[in-house]
Amino acid sequence: MLPEIERLLVLQDRDRKIRTLHQEAKMAPLERKELETKLNAANAGLDAAKLKSKENEVERKKLEVDAQVRRDQIAKFNAQKFQTRKNEEFQAFNNEIKRFEEEIRVIEDKELELMEKAEKLKAAVTEADTAAQAMRASAQRQVADLDAKTASMATQLAAFEKERAAFAAAIDEELVDTYERLFKNKGEAVVALNHDICTGCHMKVIAQTSVLVRGRKSVVHCENCGRILYPSE
């Protein structure tokens, strides 16, 4: 193989690795964002469960107060009804007491219902809390992994860049320029010629190109796509 081609292939290998590392590095912030979203969702789930439980408790306290107001009123009526001498007033107090007692029964039924609901809401809070905790631990681990990966990629990238610079310095400057332009624009700069087919553009090259490539004496470009060719066999 032509020494220039060999050097260019090594350079291209490093450039591919550098390109892959750059692409992977771009993914890290997205992965971070995704973790953040999951974490926020878990926390929101916990907050929602806590709020429901709290609302239930507030409602229960309100019912307790409602019932107590009526109990106090009944006690008052019970005291007052014995102070009256009029039978209809006595009867009116009794009617009021009966009405309040009925209302208390309704309130107490509702309280019982809310107490049962409170048990379920409490369990839901515990469940959401466990889920949020697990999510936090998992996110923490994943962020640490991501940090380690990012650091390792930066180290690798620096090493590849350094190697790449050394390889490039050993190749004719003009050829490196041509190579770099091709690599940037076409993804691959140096490709194999396989049975007279350029593996870059998959077109058949003319006989003269084929002869020159197989001659291994000069840097030859595909006349269709401009990529640098080397013989595959």
Pick one of 74, 219, 222, 228: the residue that binds Zn ion (CB under 5 A): 222
Q: Per CB under 5 A, does 104 bind Zn ion?
A: no
Residue type (1 letter), 130? T
**In angstroms, what is the minimal distance from the CB of 191 to Zn ion?**
7
Instruction: Find the part of the chain contacting Zn ion (CB under 5 A) among 30-38, 132-140, 192-200, 209-217.
Output: 192-200
Instruction: Find the part of the chain contacting Zn ion (CB under 5 A) among 97-105, 152-160, 164-172, 194-202.
Output: 194-202
| Contact indicator for 45, 221 with CB cutoff of 8 Å | no
Q: Per CB under 5 A, does 224 bind Zn ion?
A: yes
Closer of 70 and 200 to Zn ion (Cβ): 200
Pick one of 42, 125, 189, 198: the residue that binds Zn ion (CB under 5 A): 198
> What is the helix (H) or strand (E) element at residue 193, kind and residue range?
strand 190-194
Closer of 71 and 202 to Zn ion (Cβ): 202
What is the distance between the alpha carbons of residues 101 and 4, in angstroms, rounded to a whole number? Answer: 102
Pick one of 49, 190, 225, 228: the residue that binds Zn ion (CB under 5 A): 225
Within the chain, how many helices (H) and strands (E) appear?
4, 4
Q: Per CB under 5 A, does 201 bind Zn ion?
A: yes
Pick one of 14, 200, 220, 230: the residue that binds Zn ion (CB under 5 A): 200
Closer of 39 and 205 to Zn ion (Cβ): 205
Closer of 155 and 194 to Zn ion (Cβ): 194
Size of the chain, expressed as the number of residues it contains: 233
Q: What angle do CA 209, 214, 215 make, to 5 degrees?
A: 95
**In angstroms, what is the minimal distance from the CB of 225 to Zn ion?**
3
Closest CA to 142 of 53, 34, 60: 34
Closer of 43 and 224 to Zn ion (Cβ): 224
How would you label 27-61 residue by residue, b for 16+ Cβ within 10 Å and e otherwise? eeeeebeebeeebeebeebbeebeebbeebeeebe
| Contact indicator for 11, 167 with CB cutoff of 8 Å | yes
* Residues binding Zn ion (CB under 5 A): 198, 200-201, 222, 224-225
